[in-house]
Amino acid sequence: MTYTVNCSILLTELPLLERPAAAKAAGFDAVEFWWPFDTSVPSDAQVTEFETAIKDAGVQLTGLNFNAGNMPGGDRGLVSWKGRCSEFKDNIDVVAGIGERLGCKAFNALYGNRQDEFTPEEQDELAAKNLAAAAEGVARIGGTVLLEPVSGAPKYPLLTAEDALKVIARVKAESGAQNIKLLADFYHLAVNGDDVESVIENHAKDFGHIQIADNPGRGAPGTGTLPLGEWIARSRELGYDGYIGLEYKEPQESAFSWAIRQRANAN
């Protein structure tokens, strides 16, 4: 199984730049991150530090978020956020640059919360333009923009796979961009009441990425009731051949116990 460790939610006991090496020490060769900086356009020194941490750890960066705003404060993306359009556009170049230097091809663009002062239609129109710009920006390095349904954010409008797929279809129709795909986070989809089995049957071959956590609790696989192994296996059968992102909450000492058991059973 080809797993990639989300170092923005796992190994958080460590400073961010030490987490890639910790993932490597735990037996993984790939990592992904939410946006690891406080601003859309960090300093050259900050970017270099981040890239060096990845390279020195000897891991592959497989995924990176565009800046999503203040995530701990409740923000969930800039894509549809009227008033921050230029900031998002500036972020595209930084994201593409990091991707180019580290060989990363998958970039998650969180859609953004609804704003009371604007209509959903106004925000959706901006989102379609911003996603098209993002797709164009990463196309030059062979990159793909990912769009994700999210749970636990009351004002986030994309709750089901269908919600995200409708946006993707709009962007493709209006801009011609083809490098935008669904990020299927099985945890978020399940929590939001989506029919995960049906989503897999109908769309697995077109998934841009899969992420997993168990429910309840968003913990490690095996701590809840979701049939994650079955869902992953079926997605593989239907043509998904990418990484499986580990995006769950678990203390460092037990973060990967399930994977160690899995490897032991395989032997």
Q: Which of 68, 170, 151, 156 is nearest to 110 (CA)?
A: 68
Alpha helices in 140-256 (DSSP H): 161-175, 186-191, 196-203, 228-237
- Cis preceding linkage at 149, omega within 30: no
Catalytic, 247? Answer yes
For residue 34, CA distances in Å to 75, 122, 135, 203, 247 come to: 13, 26, 18, 24, 10
For residue 99, CA distances in Å to 17, 30, 96, 160, 247 come to: 17, 14, 5, 28, 20
Catalytic one among 148, 162, 237, 250? Answer: 148
Number of Cβ within 10 Å of residue 249's Cβ equals 14
Catalytic one among 87, 122, 247, 250? Answer: 247
CB burial of 62-86 (b: ≥16 within 10 Å; e: otherwise) equals bbbbbbbbebeeebbbbbbbeebbe
Report the catalytic residues: 148, 247
